[in-house]
Amino acid sequence: MDAGKAIIETVGKLRQRRTAPLVLELDLTEGVIEGPPADPLAAVLSMRKPRLSDVLAGLKRARQDSRVKALIVKIGGNPLGLATVQELRQAVVHFRASGKLTVAFGETFGEFGSGTVPYYLASAFERVYLQPSGDVGLTGIAMEQRFVKGALTKLGVGYEMGQRHEYKTAANTFTHDHMTEPHRESISRIVESVTGQLTAGIADGRRLDPAKVRELFDQGPFIGPEALQAGLVDGLAYRDEVYDEVKRAAGDEAHLLYVSRYAKAAAVRKMPNPTADGIALVHGMGQIRSGRSGRSPLGGSGAMGSDTVSAALRAARRDEHVKAVVFRVDSPGGSYVASDTVWREVVLTRKVKPIIVSMGDLAASGGYFVSMAADVIVAQPGTLTGSIGVFGGKPVLSELLERIGVTSEMVAEGANAGMFSTARGFSPEQWARVNAWLDRIYDDFVGKVAEGRSLTRERAHELARGRVWTGADARDGGLVDELGGLEDALALARKRAGLSDDAPVRTFPRLNPLERLRGPDSSEDRAAALARVRLDAWGPLARLSAELGLPAAGPLSLPAWYVIR
Whole-Å CA distances, 175 to 152, 549, 559: 9, 12, 14
Q: What is the structure's pLDDT at 466?
A: 92
What is the domain partition of the chain in residue ranges? 2-139+220-265, 273-387+428-562
Residue 473 to residue 498: CA distance in whole angstroms: 30
Q: What is the structure's pLDDT at 548?
A: 39
Q: What is the structure's pLDDT at 149?
A: 86
Model confidence at 15: pLDDT above 60? no
Q: What is the structure's pLDDT at 544?
A: 39
List, as one string, the DSSP characters of 123-149: TTSSEEEE-TT-EE------------H
Who contacts 273 (Cβ-Cβ below 8 Å, separation ≥6)? none
Model confidence at 8: pLDDT above 70? no
Q: At how many degrees (to 10) do helices 336-352 and 306-318 cross?
A: 0
Architecture of domain 273-387+428-562: Alpha-Beta Complex (3.90)
Q: Give the Cβ contact number of residue 384 at 10 Å.
A: 30
**What is the rounded average pLDDT for all residues in the chain?**
85
- Model's pTM, two decimal places? 0.87
Residues across the chain: 565
Which of 36, 557, 167, 40 has its CA nearest to residue 338? 557
Residues forming beta bridges with residue 506, ordered by sequence position: 280
Of the spans 97-101, 253-257, 410-414, 547-551, which averages the highest pLDDT?
Answer: 97-101
**CATH number, span 2-139+220-265:** 3.90.226.10
Do 2-139+220-265 and 273-387+428-562 agree at the fold level?
yes
pLDDT, tens digit, 9 for 90 and up, residues 422-469? 888 899 998 899 899 999 999 999 999 999 999 999 999 999 999 999
3-state secondary structure at position 551: coil
* Antiparallel, parallel or unpaired: β 333-334 and 556-557: antiparallel
Q: What is the structure's pLDDT at 537?
A: 36
Backbone angles phi, psi at 469, to 5 degrees: -120, 150
